[in-house]
Amino acid sequence: MTRTEFTALLDSELGLDYGPDDLDRPFDQLGDWDSVNLLHLVTVLERQGARKFDVVELLSAKSLADVHALAY
Q: For residue 69, how many other CB atoms are within 10 A of its CB?
A: 12
| Rounded Cα–Cα distance for residues 71 and 50 (Å) | 5
- Domains of the chain are 3-71 (1.10.1200)
| Rounded Cα–Cα distance for residues 1 and 44 (Å) | 13
pLDDT tier for residue 65 given thresholds of 50, 70 and 90? very high
What pLDDT, in 10s, does the model give residues 6-53? 999 999 999 999 999 999 999 999 999 999 999 999 999 999 988 899
